[in-house]
Amino acid sequence: MAFPFLSSPRNPVRRALIALALPLLAGSAFAQAWPTKPITLVVPFPPGGPTDVASRIVAQKMSLALKQNILVDNRSGASGTIGAAFAAKAAPDGYTFVMLATPTLLASHLYGTVPYDIFKNFTPVGTVYDLPIVMVVNPKALPGVNGLQDLIAKAKADGGKLNYTTAGAGSFGHLTTEQLKNIGKFEMQHVPYRGSAPAVTDLIGGQVPAMFSDLVAVIPHIRAGTLRPIAVGSGKRVSLLPDVKTVAEQGFPGFDATSWGGLLAPAGTPKDVVERMSAELKKALADKEVGEKLQSVGSFAAYGTPEQTATRMRQDFERWGKVIRDNKITNQ
């Protein structure tokens, strides 16, 4: 049915319809033109770490599809809060994104206050990778420990004085070990370091005998035989360590602890741009070469939609927040 009266440029209904349509047309045109310049990907951790390495692998592939460089900008410090705060304040124009990692998600639990709200100041774009964690021991310091129950028996025999190390107070390895201690009703003493590298160095040197670490930091030393893996925290075994049983398989049914990374945009970034970026992320992670590169360094492609990423953020925020509160863990 035609409405001739709408053809008049003076008709108020016509004007109203045009006013409603203009923002939609503008947004669509912007998304079609985007990107017209390089994109910045803020990585709130130092170069060479698991978040940085995974970010660079994925960014390189997505740059080709978007026909614009994705420039990694490392802004490390305070469990990723410095970089996240920078990204939260960036213009929501589709040219700044940030790679979220578990420590940054949980930072407000550990520090009390942080200069951003992880749920209000960001828009999820997609889950990028899973980062399994693994319990490793120094085989010389703990020669008889070949499985998780061996370690627990040793800890109990030592009256809770057995030390373990992690990348720092409040790190994912720390939270996972504390949850495991709570469930298994045993004690070990935490010796935190400032980062995985120094912790692993002293683990190999025998100063500390055990560590729950992300796989990226320890896989070269497992391959070299200087560290022995005795359990993986994820719900399923990992392909790089097919013979190493999960924590769940060793007396803790249902136990599943996996660190992960996700791509976020500043809140207010155009929806069309977020959807396009998420679609390109999905394609990149489905690429066989990208998957192999991620696995070679100990992480695994794990695309999730913006909605799935938002749900995972909320679930992990609540779950690990409880562990932090129950064990009075702080990073202050």
pLDDT tens-digit map of 60-87 = 999 999 999 999 999 988 889 999 999 9
| Residue 24 is assigned to a structural domain of this protein | no
Residue 102 pLDDT: 92
Q: Based on the domain organization, do 123 and 171 belong to the same domain?
A: no
Q: Based on the domain organization, do 111 and 163 belong to the same domain?
A: no
SS3 of residue 7 by DSSP? helix
**Could you tell me if 217 and 200 are in contact, meaning their C-beta atoms sit under 8 angstroms apart?**
yes
Q: Which pLDDT tens digit goes with each residue over 153-202? A: 999 999 999 999 998 888 999 999 999 999 999 999 999 998 888 999 99
Question: Which range among 137-146, 166-175, 272-281 shows the weakest confidence by mean pLDDT?
Answer: 166-175
CATH (domain of 235): 3.40.190.10
Percentage of the chain with pLDDT > 90? 80
Q: Based on the domain organization, do 78 and 152 belong to the same domain?
A: no
**Residue in the structure block whose two tokens are 């999820």:** 124
Quote the domain boundaries for residue 320.
36-131+259-326
Asked whether residue 26 carries a pLDDT value surpassing 70, the answer given is no
**Could you tell me if 259 and 131 are in contact, meaning their C-beta atoms sit under 8 angstroms apart?**
yes
| Residue 177 is assigned to a structural domain of this protein | yes
Q: Based on the domain organization, do 79 and 145 belong to the same domain?
A: no
Q: Cis check for the bond before 35: say yes or no (omega within 30 of 0).
A: yes
Question: Which range among 31-35, 50-54, 139-143 shows the weakest confidence by mean pLDDT?
Answer: 31-35
Write down the mean pLDDT value for the chain.
Answer: 91
Cα–Cα dist 248/171, whole Å: 21
Q: Based on the domain organization, do 157 and 211 belong to the same domain?
A: yes
Residue 242 pLDDT: 96
**Residue in the structure block whose two tokens are 């912007």:** 30
| Residue 12 is assigned to a structural domain of this protein | no
Strands 122-137 and 70-74 come out as: unpaired
Q: Based on the domain organization, do 124 and 217 belong to the same domain?
A: no
Q: Based on the domain organization, do 181 and 126 belong to the same domain?
A: no
Cα–Cα dist 108/170, whole Å: 11
Q: Based on the domain organization, do 173 and 95 belong to the same domain?
A: no
Q: Based on the domain organization, do 287 and 244 belong to the same domain?
A: no
Select from 196, 226, 250 the last residue of a domain: 250
Select from 217, 250, 283 the last residue of a domain: 250
CA distances from 84 to 152, 245, 260 (A): 37, 35, 16
Choice between 23 and 76, residue whose per-residue pLDDT is larger = 76
Residue 300 pLDDT: 94
| Residue 17 is assigned to a structural domain of this protein | no
Residue 19 pLDDT: 53
Q: Based on the domain organization, do 115 and 138 belong to the same domain?
A: no
Select from 250, 283, 300 the last residue of a domain: 250
For residue 99, the cross-strand partners are 263
Residue 112 binned pLDDT confidence (cut-offs 50, 70, 90): confident
Cα–Cα dist 219/233, whole Å: 15
As given in the structure block, the two tokens for residue 40 are 């910045």
The helix-helix angle for 288-296 and 50-66 (nearest 10°) equals 160
Asked whether residue 305 carries a pLDDT value surpassing 50, the answer given is yes
CATH (domain of 124): 3.40.190.150
Asked whether residue 290 carries a pLDDT value surpassing 60, the answer given is yes
Split into its structural domains, the chain has a count of 2
Residue 330 pLDDT: 84
Q: Radius of gyration (Cα) for the chain, nearest Å?
A: 23
Q: Based on the domain organization, do 127 and 266 belong to the same domain?
A: yes
Q: Based on the domain organization, do 225 and 275 belong to the same domain?
A: no
